[in-house]
Amino acid sequence: MKVYIDGEIHDGERATISVDDHGLLYGDGIFEGIRAYGGRPFRLEAHLERMAYGARALGLSLPGGLEGLREAVERVVEAHGGDEIYLRLVVTRGRGPLGIDPTRCERPSLFCIADTIALFDEERRRAGLSMITSSVRRPAADVLDPRIKSLNYLNNVMAKAEARRQGVDEALMLNGRGQVAEATVANVFVVQGGQLKTPPTSDGCLDGVTRATVLELAAELGIDSRVETLGRIDLFSADEVFVTGTGAGILRVSSLDGQALGGRELGPITERLLAAYAEATRAAP
């Protein structure tokens, strides 16, 4: 592991942040998870754009602007090396006295972690994910807008913990109206009658970079796709169900609340999208 912190590269075990950093104390900050393939960050500009509007929404300055973020990513990728890297790019409000007042923080802090990640092994990827419907609901946009990838992930953590206590891989998170929002760290897709569908961000999901990539690939492949509200019933009636995320890639979901979803094998549309996504990452960015 290599870590860039405010202009310097550190080995992972020597990388530290201050205990009075408001990102640690109050979750006051934003982050991006980014993949690099062959030393080239995938969809970097899309990630930086999302971080930029998240920072504006929070009134948070980006150290060095977008160029400063690019430099952090490039330097830590070069320092880490390797063909496939997972990056965690983080901007916090910075160090400040106790108390939530953000104006008392002198300057924001920027760090970027470069490491490997394996959320699920190959056996689980082949078998498909088991999922439960979480009792933890996604907050509405007027509480915590899901389009801001903030450091406030306790909602997702509790849903994941609930899934693991029940012995399954993932949790389906609904919004306050009982509509599908997302999985704990991934967007949800269904295929019904050859049509690809995924919920809108207004229903409580992150505007995922991998989600956008899948929608673009579907258009290129001539797959009819729609962004529309989904209910839990739509997963049970679907021919194929999968989730997408930077860390997960594209992963089939094989069951929900103990009931099998879709067929026993990888569906044809999921398979086509997987192949197209693998090709896109090889041609990064």
Domains in the chain, CATH or no CATH each: 2-115 (3.30.470.10), 122-282 (3.20.10.10)
pLDDT, residue 144, reads 87
Q: What is the pTM of this model?
A: 0.94
Residues 79-98: pLDDT tens digits?
Answer: 999 889 999 999 999 999 99
pLDDT, residue 83, reads 87
Residue 258: count other Cβ atoms within 10 Å of its Cβ. Answer: 10
Residue 44: pLDDT above 70?
A: yes
pLDDT, residue 250, reads 95
Residues of the chain with pLDDT > 90: what percent?
87
- What would the mean pLDDT of 202-222 be, rounded to a whole number? 96
Element (H, E) at 31: strand 29-37
**d(Cα 183, Cα 200) in Å, to the nearest integer?**
14
- According to DSSP, the residues that pair with 96 across neighbouring strands are none
Q: Are 235 and 241 in contact (CB under 8 A)?
A: yes
Residues 184-195: pLDDT tens digits?
Answer: 999 999 999 999
Residue 171: pLDDT above 70?
A: yes
Residues 193-210: pLDDT tens digits?
Answer: 999 999 999 999 999 999
Residue 12: pLDDT above 70?
A: yes
Lowest mean pLDDT among 128-132, 260-264, 271-275: 260-264
Residue 242: pLDDT above 70?
A: yes
Residues 108-156: pLDDT tens digits?
Answer: 999 999 998 877 777 778 889 999 999 999 999 888 898 999 999 999 9
- What would the mean pLDDT of 155-161 be, rounded to a whole number? 97
Residue 284: pLDDT above 70?
A: no
Residue 264: pLDDT above 90?
A: no
pLDDT, residue 203, reads 96
Q: Which two tokens stand for residue 150?
A: 């903030």
Which residue in 151, 159, 220 sits closest to 188, CA to CA? 159
Q: What size, in residues, is the chain?
A: 285
Q: How confident is the model at residue 232 (pLDDT cuts 50, 70, 90)?
A: very high
Lowest mean pLDDT among 116-120, 164-168, 236-240: 116-120
Residue 258: pLDDT above 90?
A: yes
Residue 58: pLDDT above 70?
A: yes
Residue 285: pLDDT above 70?
A: no
Task: Estimate the crossing angle of helix 209-221 against helix 44-58, to 10 degrees.
Answer: 140
Q: DSSP per residue over 178-243, as a string?
A: SBEEEESSSEEEEEETTEEEE--GGGT----HHHHHHHHHHHHHT--EEE---BHHHHHT-SEEEE
